[in-house]
Amino acid sequence: MGLFDRVSRVVRSNLNAAVSAAEDPEKILEQAIIDMQEDLVQLRQAVATAIASQKRVQQQHNQAQSESNSWEQRARLALQKGDENLAREALNRKKVQAETAAALKAQLDQQSSTVDTLKRNLIALEGKISEAKTKKDMLRARAQAAKANEQLQKRWVVLVLVVLCQHLSEWRKKYSRWRLVLRRHQNWQEPI
């Protein structure tokens, strides 16, 4: 393995360690929620645009259907009056309007499917945002509980040390008294 490869590996590992140390799961989750909310706004706009387009196509379909019916009535009237050329012309226009209405109906069906898909995606994204917010709150609560537990552990250690120091101090006092008593006893038994 060459020197350059080893140096490269060391640099990459240090960079990865720095990035890992800088990562805060709560901040990452918060940014993900913000990104999803931006996507939600865009998706809502797309749904609104698709619904508006669907309504326009519906109106155009209804108008084409209405005109087709109108040309059919005109053709009947022309036949009743005995004008076959006018009746043929009216039937040709009826055919054009009927074809337009059929094409618009196919487009309308496709747009309805698209709108339904967009609405389902919108509901799914809203659910994911709600789930992410819940996870964020749970993560925050866990972090706070861990922090509180850590502080409690530190306080417990300090308390144990204080109690041990007090007991040690008392033991030293007792030991000092015992030694003093022992010395006096030894001094008392020694002949003068």
- Domain range for 159 is 151-192
Say what the pLDDT of residue 139 is.
84
Q: What is the pLDDT along the chain (192 residues), one digit of tens a residue?
A: 577 777 788 778 777 776 666 667 777 788 888 888 998 899 899 899 999 999 999 999 999 999 999 999 999 998 899 888 988 999 999 999 999 999 999 999 999 999 999 899 999 989 998 998 898 888 888 888 888 888 888 888 888 888 888 888 888 888 888 888 888 777 766 555
* Same-domain check for residues 71 and 123: yes
Q: Say how many domains are in the chain.
A: 2
Cα 186 from Cα 121, distance rounded (Å): 95
Same domain flag for 39 and 92? yes
Instruction: Collect all residues with Cβ–Cβ distance below 8 Å to 47 and sequence separation of at least 6.
Output: 115, 118, 119, 122
